[in-house]
Amino acid sequence: MGGALDPAVATGRNLVREALADLAAGTRVVVGVSGGADSLALAAVTAFVADRGSLDLSAVVVDHGLQHGSDEVAARAVQQLDGLGVRAVVRRVDVGRVGGPEAAARTARREVLAASGADAVLLAHTLDDQAETVLLGLGRGSGPRSIAGMAAIDGLWRRPFLPLRRAGTEQICRAHGLTWWTDPHNSDPAFRRSRVRGEVMPLLEDVLGRGVAEALARTADQVRADGHLLDELAAQVADPLDVATLAALPPALRSRVLRRVALAAGAVGAELSSTHLAELDRLVTDWHGQQRIELPGRVSVTRVRTSGGTSLTFAATPVGG
């Protein structure tokens, strides 16, 4: 690119540089690419940053096979990545049905990216994605975790573009001469996220004024920060779970403790709802002879009397038990 650096490109590079600042030279970094504007833009600016930081960069183009011609979309993405100096492979995934098509596609995508052997995998979620995630979580009404959104760094996964609007990724692509693919599912009203994107967000902007997406993203950051503190405090509550100790805890902290122990016992986090946690809480605060509580993942919880008092026990339920 000749002339002055495009402001969107400069912003994108700075975001990626910050996201990868802790990685040493030679670290293997993989960008997950769909062929859409967000992921192509991420690959473009990451190529620049990785070259100067001597990072081992590659891309995995994920072909979900959900539309006719998806193999052609993947091939075009590889061709454009090659033009950016990013070596790429295509991985075709089989999308199951568990949790619905969106969740199943996400699971399949993450599995193939996790199997890449990378030290860090970059995902191209934007501020718009974060705002949509918060609204969808709010609609589920399953507690603070549902509106905490996505973390910029979550173990293997890194999301440098969370502060960037979707329009910025399209401008980065234009500045690099990249042609992106628009997933028809993104405008399909059969998908809840598509309706939030195409109908709810524009309505909120119209009624509440500009800046709604940014406000939702800030809310997610604040909720997530509070959640981290509560998780740290919950980790300090030792096992076994004495009922008297639990009853003395603030409700928000008690809920975190119960969730932590349930997950450690084998409960399925994605299926552990606020309803389950409320039932567990009643074993502590409103017990009137309830029998065991069954949690997803075949974990049962009972209130038992011991020589030292009363406690909760979490145990795996045998098949047929």
β-sheet with 293-295: strand ranges across: 241-242, 309-316, 299-306, 293-295
* Cis peptide bond prior to 184, omega within 30° of 0: no
Residue 122: phi and psi, rounded to 5, are -95, 130
168 is in an annotated binding site: no
In terms of Cβ atoms closer than 10 Å to its own Cβ (0-12, 13-18, 19+), residue 321 is exposed
* DSSP category for residue 272: -
CA 199 → CA 100, 205, 206, distances in Å?
21, 10, 11
Question: What is the C-alpha to C-alpha distance for residues 151 and 190, in angstroms, rounded to an integer?
Answer: 27
300 is in an annotated binding site: no
Which residue shows structure tokens 């401008």? 171
177 is in an annotated binding site: no
- Cα 207 versus chain centre, distance: 28
35 is in an annotated binding site: yes
32 is in an annotated binding site: no
38 is in an annotated binding site: yes
Residues making up the annotated binding site for ATP are 34-39
Residues making up the annotated binding site are 34-39
